[in-house]
Structure 1
Amino acid sequence: MDAQTPGMSTKAVPEKVATKQKNNRKWAIRGSLTGRQYTLYALAGVLTPILIWAIVNEAAIVPKIFMPGPWDVIQRFYSWIVNEGFSGDLLISVQRVSLGFLAALVFALPLGLMAGTFKPAEAFLEPAMDFIRYMPAVAFVPLMMLWCGVGELSKVSIIFIGTFFQMVLMFGDDVRRVPLQQIEAAQTMGGTRWEIVSKVIFPSAAPALLTTCRITLGWAWTYLVVAEIVAANSGLGYAVLKAQRFLQTDKIFAGLIVIGILGLLQDQILRALHHVLFPYLRRH
């Protein structure tokens, strides 16, 4: 007969084992979390850098002119909202990013689908896309000013250039990952080339294509500041650049945080759309 630890009931042992197993599953390779656990870890990941930032600021390790504290940034952000036209900057920047990204998506999706499906299209498109994607988008600013003027078109074009070429290549890779067995099965059943592309390849690649959209949307936001260098007088990127000239570091922090939050919100919208459109891919 096994010895029993004094003061421990037989019921407590299975409960402890179950708790240990749950903890092990949390940190298992590619383990799973409940919705509540995921939220707690996410909050901890967001709040930890803010806490470190506040501690560094209070310790006066870095002068405030170079690193303002969280409260300084909040006060500047409030002033920006009340007195400095934040709503206008916000709307125009969202509009520029959205137009540039959607324009890139409209042109890149069919090209990527072709490059991933047909070898002649891959040979024709990918070397050119590879060549141009290594050119920094900021180098196109003078050309965009010459070709498109200093209006909205030049700013949207910079965001388009920063995302389009990468998007074509990534879409092509997504399409090439469609299992060949699915294509061969459709061919065996007598599917035409268009039917195979529209009813087999595209639906199979769609989850990966939407994930690529999430990634490239982040790039669109990174090119916002570059786009708003082009003779802009409004926008979040313009506000950040203007604040730099006047050493308003607190406003620079506020602008960067707002851009990050906007990008995160749009990313979460696409993530939720992914869950709605492809529920069979969700892990339980």
Structure 2
Amino acid sequence: MRWFAPRLAISAGAWWLLAGLGLLLPLLGWALLSWSGWVDPVFLPGPSAVLARFWRWATEDELLADIAISTWRVVAGWALSAVIALPLGLAIGTWRGVQALLEPLTDFIRYMPAVAFIPLVMLWVGIDEGAKIAIIFIGTFFQMVLMVAEDVRRVPQAQIEAAQTMGASTLELVEKVILPSAKPALLDTLRVTMGWAWTYLVVAELVAANSGLGYAILKAQRFLQTDKIFAGILLIGLIGLAIDQLFRRLHRHAFPWLYLRS
């Protein structure tokens, strides 16, 4: 079938049809399973119950405030990671000496779970907003550094050697060859790590939070409000999907030549 031929382009209509099916089929399966009565609603509430809970959350509680504070925490932690990881990853990917000095340490730390740092973060930073941002930073920074370094290392050696042959200095090599060539991959790395940042939200809001989507999910768990847990998880997924699509649109706008059909 043409739609599933390897790397063969499909029309926009076919893409949206398949994307809609990919989203609707799991929703339909969920609805059928919950309505069948095979699973206790305490463990698997139906879509209608989750939608009703979401409406009550929006009209009776502080849903917009929860969305705003959680988005701020995620974006702040991710942005802080990016500000430091981009130049550091660029240096690791460009100079072998920097790679030997920093990459093993970064590889070592990235396997440490972010949740294990919560006691230290509370001790060093406190329990205010800085602590929550710090947890998201820890969860994304080390992976981002290594991904940026790998993006830089993928710049074709032939381009670097050609620039050196033409007398480019080290600064010119980085500024005019390596960075422009790596930019599309770097933007993709930022998009992927933004998704990771959202996965650390609930962990971050373990730290003395009294607002936010992750806090609401944890509070609902204590009172066995499964419908609100589902609503919070789905809402985080929808926000993440919207941000991901914005990144994809930015990528297409910034690098249109990558999307030209042959």
What range is the shorter-chain TM-score in? over 0.9
- Cα shift readout 1:210-248 (whole Å, capped 9, x = no counterpart): 111111111100000000000000000000000000000
Report the counterpart of residue 182 of structure 1 in structure 2.
Answer: 159
CA shift at 1:28, angstroms?
Answer: 1.1
Aligned residue for 2:8, secondary structure, equals coil
Report the counterpart of residue 96 of structure 2 in structure 1.
Answer: 119
CA shift at 1:29, angstroms?
Answer: 1.0
Aligned residue for 2:124, secondary structure, equals helix
Task: Give RMSD over aligned pairs.
Answer: 0.7
- More displaced 10-residue stretch of structure 1: 143-152 or 24-33: 24-33
What TM-score do the two structures reach when normalised by structure 1? 0.91
Report the counterpart of residue 76 of structure 1 in structure 2.
Answer: 53
- Cα shift readout 1:246-271 (whole Å, capped 9, x = no counterpart): 00000000000000011111111111
Counterpart code for 1:231: A
CA shift at 1:31, angstroms?
Answer: 1.4
Q: Which of these residues, 127, 132, 149, is aligned with residue 109 of structure 2?
A: 132
Report the counterpart of residue 44 of structure 1 in structure 2.
Answer: 21
Aligned residue for 1:183, secondary structure, equals helix
Note if 1:102 corresponds to 2:79: yes
Note if 1:91 corresponds to 2:68: yes
Note if 1:157 corresponds to 2:134: yes
Counterpart code for 2:238: I
Residues matched between the structures, number? 261
Alignment of 1:210-249 (within 5 A): 210-249=187-226
Partners of 1:263 and 1:198 lie apart in 2 by: 32
Q: Which of these residues, 252, 257, 263, is aligned with residue 234 of structure 2?
A: 257
Partners of 2:260 and 2:214 lie apart in 1 by: 38
Unaligned runs of 5+ in 1: 1-23
What TM-score do the two structures reach when normalised by structure 2? 0.98
- Residue identity (%): 57
- Cα shift readout 1:173-232 (whole Å, capped 9, x = no counterpart): 010000000001111111110001011001101111111111111110000000000000
Partners of 2:102 and 2:182 lie apart in 1 by: 19
- Cα shift readout 1:76-101 (whole Å, capped 9, x = no counterpart): 00000011110110000000000000
Partners of 1:84 and 1:124 lie apart in 2 by: 50
Note if 1:58 corresponds to 2:35: yes
CA shift at 1:60, angstroms?
Answer: 0.9
Partners of 1:193 and 1:204 lie apart in 2 by: 15
- Cα shift readout 1:82-131 (whole Å, capped 9, x = no counterpart): 11110110000000000000000000000000000000110111011011
Aligned residue for 2:197, secondary structure, equals helix
Counterpart code for 2:138: I
CA shift at 1:283, angstroms?
Answer: 4.4
Q: Which of these residues, 251, 271, 284, is aligned with residue 248 of structure 2?
A: 271
Partners of 1:90 and 1:221 lie apart in 2 by: 12
Counterpart code for 1:264: L
Note if 1:33 corresponds to 2:10: yes
Partners of 1:92 and 1:131 lie apart in 2 by: 32
- Cα shift readout 1:118-171 (whole Å, capped 9, x = no counterpart): 001101110110110010000001111111111000000000000000000010
Partners of 1:240 and 1:233 lie apart in 2 by: 11
